Amino acid sequence: MDFRNLFRRNSRKTSIDAAESITPHLTDIQNAVISYATLMTTGFTDDQMNRHFQHYGSTYRTRRAELTAKNIIVDSGKVSRLPSGRNATVWVLAQYKEQS
**Measured distance CA(26)–CA(31) in Å, rounded:** 6
Q: Which residues, listed in sequence order, are joined to residue 73 by a DSSP beta bridge?
A: 93
Give the model's pLDDT for residue 22.
53
Mean pLDDT of 58-71: 94
Domains for the chain: give ranges and CATH numbers: 3-99 (1.10.10.10)
**In the predicted model, is pLDDT for residue 50 greater than 50?**
yes
Which helix (H) or strand (E) segment holds residue 22: the answer is: helix 13-22
Q: Residue 19: phi, psi to the nearest 5?
A: -60, -45
Task: Supply the pLDDT for residue 2.
Answer: 47
In the predicted structure, residue 6 carries a pLDDT above the cut 60: no
Answer yes or no: are the C-beta atoms of 73 and 94 closer than 8 Å.
Answer: yes
Distance separating alpha carbons of residues 22 and 4, to the nearest angstrom: 11
